[in-house]
Copies of this chain bind each other. A is one copy, B any other.
Amino acid sequence: MKSIPRTLEWIGDLPGHLRLLDQTLLPTDLAYRDCRSVEEVWESIRNLRVRGAPAIGIAAAFGVVLGMQVHTESASCAERLNHICDYLRSSRPTAVNLFWALDRMEKKLLSEPEALAKDRPSSLTLHALTRILLSEAIAIQREDRQMCLAIGRIGAHLIHDGYGVLTHCNAGSLATSEFGTALAVLYSAHDQGKKFHVFADETRPLLQGARLTAWELQQAGIDVTLLCDNMAGQVMREGRVHMVIVGADRIAANGDTANKIGTYSVAVLAKAHGIPFYVAAPSSTFDLSISDGSQIPIEQRDPREITEGFGKVIAPTGVRVYNPAFDVTPAELITGIITEKGLIHPADARIIRTN
């Protein structure tokens, strides 16, 4: 497989810095952003330079390291950690993986007795504790990578020679440490020498499909055709789509799946054309505390993403806009869910609970 530039990586040791591929500049410019402070990580998450639930979590974990590696005169170790994590949590308040990664970093540090001292730590102690945090951030990244590889391996057998595979939004390398979730399945099948073709929905309003998915599949040497979201039904009708695969933001205990707006429409269209519809996501995406998708709140985003999304006003002033970030695809429209642990098929409550 041709290689896709790395989404994010830690450069150096301690002190070191976080290098991010600036996704706001894709696909026209391939440029990196070196974050040397926690503020720069916050800004990169806030402004979508790094996006995708797993990638945000990893970036935030390294952000904690950046915040702690600077020796300051005031505050105990626990106070500083708490301050840094709270600050990073405010970068994208709805991102579940962000909270998960920061909680994990906090828990890791607070299991060290030295971190609990009420006084300002010595610079030697601080250095040792920051090293523990760096190891934890690297572990989060490594586990994410392994999770993506496992999803790819497990899902690849679903792809056959000659298939047309439709995807929506970007559940790819750019959304994770590497490989992605839905796209990991495609990369894995491609590595196995399978010949297939991908249809990438452009994914309005933020065009992650056009800007990111089409770009990374092209980088990887996989055949891809870009289409507007409203063309998915037509390619299906023409018999050119044999399978749909998408990522997920949250999956309820019964298999109902929240993902980028438009996913639900694609699922309905797939059903109407008898095309299998798969979700690929790490098992951490399951939220067993909610019984079904009706309990997943649908966040409304800034109307300007629709009315002036590309630097040009394309709608009349003052028009009312509907701009939900996500929708929920009911489990009955989902053929199977591919996780790093295996394929859940069909996606129903009993099987999910026992996995």
Task: Give me the interface of A with B, judged by CB distance under 8 Å.
Answer: 27-28, 168, 199, 201-205, 207, 210-211, 214-215, 218, 223-235, 237, 261-262, 264-266, 268-269, 271-272, 298, 306-307, 309-324, 327
Contacts and interface: CB of A to CB of B under 8 A. Distances in A.
A227 B272 CA distance: 23
Contacts of A266: 230
B235 A315 contact: no
A232 B265 CA distance: 8
Contacts of A202: 204, 306, 314-315
A204 B228 contact: yes
This chain's copy number in the assembly: 2
Given A27-B315, A315-B211, A322-B199, A228 B327 contact: no
Contacts of A268: 233, 268-269, 272
A210 B261 contact: no
Classify the interface of chain A: helix, strand, loop or mixed.
mixed
Contacts of A321: 225-227
A225 B231 CA distance: 22
A230 B218 contact: no
B315 A312 contact: no
A203 B226 contact: no
A283 to B, nearest CB: 26
A315 B214 CA distance: 7
Determine which residue in A228, A232, A262, A307 has the highest number of CB atoms from chain B within 10 A of its CB, and name it.
A228
